[in-house]
Each structure stands twice: as structure tokens, then as C-alpha cells.
Amino acid sequence: MEVVLIKKFTVYLIRHGETYLNKFDRMQGWADAPLTDKGIQDAHQAAQKVLNVHFDQAFSSDLSRAVNTAHIILKDTHNDSLQITQLKNIREAFFGYFEGANGPETWDTICRPLGYSGIDDFLSEHTFYEARDAMHAADPFKVAEDAQTFKKRILAGVDQLAEQAHDGETLLVVSHMDAIRSLIQLLNPQIDVHLPIKNGSLNILNFTDNHAEVVAYDR
């Protein structure tokens, strides 16, 4: 995938810390829950990975778990004078009817009729966008985001970052697991993203002219 740009900038893309819905293995897309004590530590540990990085701008999704993680990282890295720009387009996928439901049971319901034991098994052969369509098809209300809607939104989020970044800048961006993995899969299909990434994991992206490079994934 190529992103048309006329400038260069670097994105430190971090997943939010653990929440109570993560802890209880519940589906958490647009549903939101507070960070656990471990989630707060996840954010502090993420900050240690970027301790010497000077951020020019900071962004997060508009969900509180991402915003609060970003605040902790900025404070720990002495970048807390920055305002956090909240972008709805980089929030997690919307799971519709399945929001808040038991995670393994949900994916069992979706994947077993398709011949897979669960989401990890499904993603070993399919993309995240196909997973979005599978969830949408299984949603009795048909409100879970489908692939086209999700992809369009995530790419719109990238466009927003590109529009607001200045040449040579370094951006902190805090987002969500499926949003991050889906973007990585678009930028570099050779990277295996089918397994979950850690809360507080670090991903580094370089945007240079017409090219987007994944420098680090799930660190």
C-alpha cells in the first residue's frame, strides 16, 4: 500500500493499557472501560520504551482508555505540555451486537460455522477485514462494522495524521489492537499479525513521500 504524501514524519503507535473488559476477556470495541492497575502500569512501561523521544504532536482515539494511556505516556516522557488530539477515526472496530460479550464464545459463534476453531485460527488464513465481514454477517442487527466501513475509517485516520503532521515531526498515537493490526496488515502484508498484540505494545511507522514503512511491530 502507498500513501501519497509530500512530507516525512514518524509515528510511535501504541496500544492502550489493559482495561477491565480486557481483563475479563470481553469484546471491547466502541464499548469503553477504565484502565486496571495493570493497565496503568502498561502505560508506564510503554513510556519507558519511548523515554528519550521528543514528540511534536500527540494523538489518541476518542475512547477514554486510549486518552488516559496517552496522558500517562506524555507525563512520563516529559512531553506533557502537548495537547492530545482525539480522533474518532482511529478508535477500535465496532463490534455491534457483540460489544461486551464473552470474547472466546463470540468468536466461536462466528468462526465455527466457517470451519475455524476461533479467531486466531481464522486469522491464520484470512485478513482482519474478512474478520470484520464475518462478524457483520453474524450480527443479528447487522450493525457491527463491515470491512469496507472499517478500512475506510482507518485510512481516513491515517489521512488526518498526515494532514496535521509537519515535515520531520514525530507523533505519539495511542490506538487499539484491531485498529493497529489492521493498519499494519495494510502497510506490510508480509508481517504476521494474526496473534494478539500486548497492551502497551509499541509500533513504529515511517511515512516518507509516497511510502509507509513499518519499522517495528508489537515491541
Annotated binding-site ranges: 15-22, 65
Burial of 113 (0-12, 13-18, 19+ CB in 10 A): exposed
Catalytic residue, chosen from 2, 44, 54, 92, is 92
Stretch (H or E) spanning 85: strand 84-86
Q: Verify whether residue 16 is a known catalytic residue.
A: yes
Query: Using CA atoms, how far apart are residues 70 and 17, in angstroms rounded to an integer?
Result: 10
Length, in residues, of the chain: 219
Q: Binding site membership for substrate: which residues?
A: 15-22, 65
Query: Using CA atoms, how far apart are residues 185 and 191, in angstroms rounded to an integer?
Result: 7
Question: What values do phi and psi take at 217, rounded to 5?
Answer: -135, 130
Residues labelled as active-site residues: 16, 92
